[in-house]
Amino acid sequence: MARRDYLLGKFGIALLTLLFVLLLDFILFRVLPGDPIRAVIGRNVRISAEVQESLRAQFGLDKPVFPDQFVDTLGQWAQGNLGVSWSQRKPVSEILISKLWNTLLLIGLGQLLSIVLGAILGLLAGWKRKTPFDVGALTFSLIAWATPTFWLGIILLVAGSTWFGLPTGGIVSPENVGKPLHTVIPDVARHLILPTLTFTILYLGEYMLIMRSSILEVLSEDYILTARAKGMSHFQVLTKHGLRNAMLPMVTIIALNLGFTVSGAIYIETVFSYDGLGNLVQTALVKQDYPLLQGAFLLLAVSVIIANMLADFLYTYLDPRVKAN
Amino acid sequence: MGEHWTLFLRNIQEFWRTFRQNKLGMVGGFLVLVATLTAIFAPALTSYDASEIIRDSNNRALTFAPPSVHGILGTDDAGHDVWSQLVYGARISLVVGFMAGFIAMFVGSALGIVAGYFGGKIDSLIMRITDVLLVIPDLPLMLVLVATIRQMELKISPLVVLIIVIGLLYWTSTARLIRSQVLTVKERQFVARARAIGAGHWHIIRKHILPQLMPLIVTNTVLILSTAILIESGLAFLGLGDPTRPSWGTMLNFAFDRSAISNGAWWFYLPPGIAILWVSLGCILLGNVLEEMLNPRLTAHHLEGEAGMIAIAEAESKG
């Protein structure tokens, strides 16, 4: 019962957030100066007044803005119709889908590496508190926290290309496009090294800090003292009691971090001209391609909202206290 | 000046005495102080104007000149003095970051106090808003907002747009923190007594609750400042700064767009990043040290050897 209420609450928040994002995107689209018809057919297409009128009727723009047009727009979005990009003259949804997988690849790799490394290093740092290792780990994460993502990307780009001859941009070398997979995959991997490294360094620090403070919090609990008093070794206490309880905040943080992950992708893809959603957002911004920008925002926001909700559901399985409470 | 404020001032003196012992805190304070002084005294630190074009003896613009050829940090792609841009950029970066940070702190504290103190419907409304804002990915939201506001041709400076958007999006964590603190403070006896003798809400909040919250608000503001400065630099790097008044982020945007990297002009793309790192690290160190001083719970550690625990036990029995 309690768990169902908790999940219903979380589901309600997700729904509310979703509604807010949809409404915001709709309003932002409407407050742009100029005729919304232009947003759909592109700025520089010449059409006669009659055609414009019939288009207005066809798109429902002669109806009141709220709720009729809002509901119409929601229907369009639900069918995947996000308008036409001004700069590329292609449907926004088509462009978004073509970039989605590249971004997922980068985010997935970066998250995986930073979570695993961060959890291990944070655990060790918390356990061996106030040793040189802990101080080093702490210093590293503080500096990583304070470093602008894009600037670290620039530094790694310069260092990686000068000293290791790594590619500075893109996802595959032009000469390898359309080649068989055994040529393409190593090339893509080489292109992924620097963006993934940037990603890992930045988020590693954060996960490490959270794991460290989480394990410190757990280690100050009385049941740890009890376990020690029972004669368990430090290592046993750490793995049997410490780690399990310390992992819980990590799950929440990973979910909450999805938003930051998207920010990271925008900066890193921009610096490395990596052909993904982040780079697309930046290009749309520079070219003032609003349909594309708002479509990308919609896709990113909705994905993060859904992923967050899934993480909340997962959390209830991991933490029995949520069930009982 | 009520007695609570006198107490607050005495607390600050005591605080400074403890703070002075903390090396990391002093380093953080030093970093922030140097950056602030640089911003204030920018004109005294350079003999060039940030928009002045440096020319060689043939009157040609001196582009991408290394520090060995010109000035402290050489010149950029158009022949501007990089050091001058850096010190004047401190003004833009710090002003935008500080103003945005203060808006966030003010909105967050006010809403946190209202939510915690009054509870009920207003509390759930404010908490639902923070829930919603917490989940939406912040950077895409800010990009869409800033881009759309700019397109509306409202004749507002791009820097003001940045300040407002950052300030109005980053108050949620402050509001939650302040709210939870208010929930405990308002149960204290002195609040109940004040209410019993007929004190109004405004009086109780101002005289009894706010002074109790001050340490938390100060700590949180310092941490928010680092976020605001980092966010400003990121938005400026993506091209949303004011090109006529370049901040450090705008400088990096110029450096990246105008091939400073392929020209090997490290004096153009390294210093602004170091400056951002300098200030945000300063704020984080300062904020973390303040937080540590205010949260003694983190000092117990049951796997740290018996000597430590005896010390803790002794301290606890004394305290």
CB-nearest to B135 from A147, A228, A304 is A304
- Rounded to a whole number of angstroms, the distance from the CA of A18 to the nearest CA of chain B is 9
The set of residues, in sequence order, having a beta carbon less than 8 Å from that of B92 and lying 6+ positions away, is B159, B241, B242, B245, B246, B247, B248, B250
Q: Residue B55 pairs with which residues in a beta bridge?
A: B61
Give the one of B135, B226, B269 whose C-beta lies nearest to A154's C-beta.
Answer: B269
Q: Compare CB distances from B137 to A28, A238, A301 and report the shortest one's residue.
A: A301
**Average predicted confidence (pLDDT) for chain A:** 83
Tokens 């989480």 correspond to A214
Give the model's pLDDT for residue B319. 39
DSSP B55: B
* β-bridge partners, B61: B55
pLDDT of residue B126: 94
Mean pLDDT of A194-215: 89
* Confidence at residue A58, expressed as pLDDT on a 0 to 100 scale: 67
Contacts of B235 in chain A (CB under 8 A): none
Averaged pLDDT for residues A248-272? 85
Helix runs in chain A, H state only: 2-31, 36-41, 49-58, 70-78, 92-127, 132-146, 149-163, 181-219, 222-229, 234-237, 244-256, 258-271, 277-286, 290-318, 320-324
User: Tens of pLDDT along B163-206?
Assistant: 999 999 999 989 999 999 899 888 888 888 888 888 888 988 88
8 Å CB contact between B308 and B301: yes
Query: What distance lies between CA B101 and its chain's CA centroid?
Result: 5
Q: Measured between alpha carbons, how far is A269 from A169 in angstroms, rounded to an integer?
A: 9
Share of chain A above pLDDT 90, in %: 24
Reported for A135-141, long-range contacts at CB under 8 A and 24+ positions apart, including other chains, are: A137/A208, A137/A212, A138/A209, A138/A212, A140/A205, A140/A208, A141/A204, A141/A205, A141/A206, A141/A208, A141/A209
* Torsions phi, psi for B53 (to 5 deg): -95, 125
Whole-number Å distance between alpha carbons of B1 and B6: 7
Q: Using pLDDT thresholds of 50, 70 and 90, give the confidence band for residue B318.
A: very low
Chain A's closest residue to B154, CA to CA, is A33
Q: Taking CA atoms, what residue in A is nearest to B257?
A: A271
Say how far apart CA A88 and CA A100 lie, in whole Å.
17
DSSP string, A217-276: HHHTSHHHHHHHHTT--HHHHIIIIIIHHHHHHHHHHHHHTHHHHHHHHHHHHHHTT-SS
Q: Report the range out of A49-63, B264-278, B305-319 with the highest average pLDDT.
A: B264-278
Under DSSP, the state recorded for A59 is T
Q: What is the pLDDT of residue B307?
A: 46
**Do B280 and A263 lie within an 8 Å CB cutoff?**
no
pLDDT of B161 > 50? The answer is: yes
Instruction: In whole angstroms, give the CA distance from residue B256 to residue A181.
Output: 33
Q: Among A30, A47, A48, which residue's Cα sits nearest to residue A39? A: A30
Task: Report A:274-293 residues touching B (Cβ under 8 A).
Answer: 281-282, 285-286, 288, 290, 293
For B226, which of A146, A154, A256 is closest by C-beta distance? A146
Percent of chain B with pLDDT over 70: 92
Question: To the nearest whole angstrom, how far is the Cα of A285 from the nearest Cα of chain B?
Answer: 7
| Bridge partners of residue A84, in order along the sequence | A91
Chain B residues touching A279 at Cβ < 8 A: none
> Percentage of chain A surpassing pLDDT 70?
90
CA angle, B109 then B113 then B116, to 5°: 135
> Looking at residues A224-243, what average pLDDT do you find?
83
Closest-CA residue of chain A to B309: A225
Say yes or no to pLDDT of B160 above 60: yes
Say whether pLDDT at B311 is over 80: no
CA distance A244 to A75: 45
Across the interface, whether the CB atoms of A129 and B301 are under 8 A apart is answered yes
Q: Do the Cβ atoms of B144 and A266 come within 8 Å? A: no
The reply to whether residue A146 touches residue B281, judged by beta carbons under 8 angstroms, is: yes
- Gap from B230 CA to chain A (nearest CA, Å): 6
Of the pLDDT bands very low, low, confident and very high (cuts 50, 70, 90), residue A222 is confident
Interchain CB distance below 8 Å, A33 and B239: no
Supply φ then ψ for residue B55, to 5 degrees: -120, 150
User: C-alpha dihedral over A202, A205, A210, A215, to 10 degrees?
Assistant: 150
- Please compute, for residue A254, the number of CA atoms within 13 A of its CA located in the half-sphere on the CB side: 23
CATH of domain B22-318: 1.10.3720.10
Among A297, A298, A303, A312, pick the best mutation site for testing chain B contact (most B Cβ within 10 A).
A297
B298 to A270: CB separation less than 8 angstroms, yes or no: no
Residue A34 has pLDDT above 80, yes or no: no
Best B280, B302, B309 member to test A by mutation, with max A CBs in 10 Å, is: B302
Kindly tell me if the per-residue pLDDT of A273 is higher than 60: yes
Residues 20-39 of A with CB under 8 A from B: 20-21, 25, 28, 31-33
According to DSSP, residue B296 is labeled: G
Mean per-residue pLDDT, B82-104: 93
State residue B51's pLDDT score.
78
Neighboring chain B residues of A262 at a CB cutoff of 8 Å? 137, 139-140
> How large is the angle between the packed helices A149-163 and B266-294, nearest 10 degrees?
130
* Region of poorest pLDDT, from A149-163, A250-264, B89-103, B209-223: A250-264
Q: Supply B168's token pair.
A: 């109005």
Question: Cβ contacts of residue A152 below 8 Å, gap of 6+?
Answer: A198, A201, A202
Query: Which of A106-115, A141-150, B3-12 is the least confident region?
Result: B3-12
Inter-chain residue contact A297 with B252, CB threshold 8 Å: no
Whole-number pLDDT of residue B121: 94
Residues A259 and B135: beta-carbon distance below 8 Å: yes
Q: Tell me, what's the pLDDT at B41?
A: 92
Least confident of A97-106, A212-221, B138-147: A212-221
Which residues on B lie below 8 Å from A296 (Cβ)? 140
**pLDDT mean over A28-32:** 74
Residues of A in contact with B233 (CB under 8 A): 148, 151
Lowest-pLDDT range of A61-65, A94-98, B296-300: B296-300
**Which of A45-54, A81-90, A261-270 is least confident?**
A45-54
Q: Which residues in chain A (213-232) have CB-CB distances under 8 A to chain B?
A: 213, 216-217, 219-221, 224-225, 228
Distances in Å between the alpha carbon of B290 and those of A1, B173, B218?
42, 17, 9
Crossing angle for the helix pair B210-235 and B82-118, to the nearest 10 degrees: 140
- Whether A190 and chain B come into contact, CB under 8 Å, resolves to no
pLDDT at A315: 76
Q: Is pLDDT above 50 for B309?
A: no
- At residue B91 the predicted structure's pLDDT band, cuts being 50, 70 and 90, is very high
The CB-side HSE value for A231 (13 A sphere, CA atoms) comes to: 0
N-to-C CA span, chain B: 30
Residue type, A279: N
C-alpha distance from B285 to closest chain A C-alpha (Å): 8
Residue A156: the pLDDT is: 94
Strand partners, B46: none
Longest dimension (CA), chain A: 87
The answer to whether the CB atoms of A20 and B132 lie below 8 A apart is yes
A48 versus A103: the higher-pLDDT residue is A103
Name which of A21, A123, A135, A154 to mutate to probe chain B: the one with the most chain B Cβ atoms within 10 A of its Cβ: A154
A219: chain B residues, CB-CB within 8 Å: 301-303
Q: Determine, for residues B298 and A220 on separate chains, whether the beta-carbon distance falls below 8 Å.
A: yes
In angstroms, rounded to a whole number, what is the distance separating the alpha carbons of residues B105 and B116? 16
Give the pLDDT confidence score for residue A325 in this predicted structure: 47
Contact B132 A13 (CB under 8 A): yes
Confidence of residue A230 (pLDDT cuts 50, 70, 90): confident
Largest CA distance in chain B: 83
pLDDT band at A38 (very low <50, low <70, confident <90, very high): low
ipTM at complex level: 0.85
Mean local confidence (pLDDT), A39-46: 62
Residue holding tokens 């941009």? A169
Which residue of chain A has the CA closest to B271? Answer: A151
* pLDDT at residue B287 is higher than 90: no
Whether the CB-CB separation of B252 and B121 falls below 8 Å is answered with no
Report the residue of chain A nearest B131, measured CA to CA. Answer: A13
Average model confidence (pLDDT) across chain B: 85
pLDDT attached to residue B235? 94
Q: In whole angstroms, how large is the CA radius of gyration of chain A?
A: 24
**For residue A128, which of A27, A55, A49, A219 has the smallest C-alpha distance?**
A219
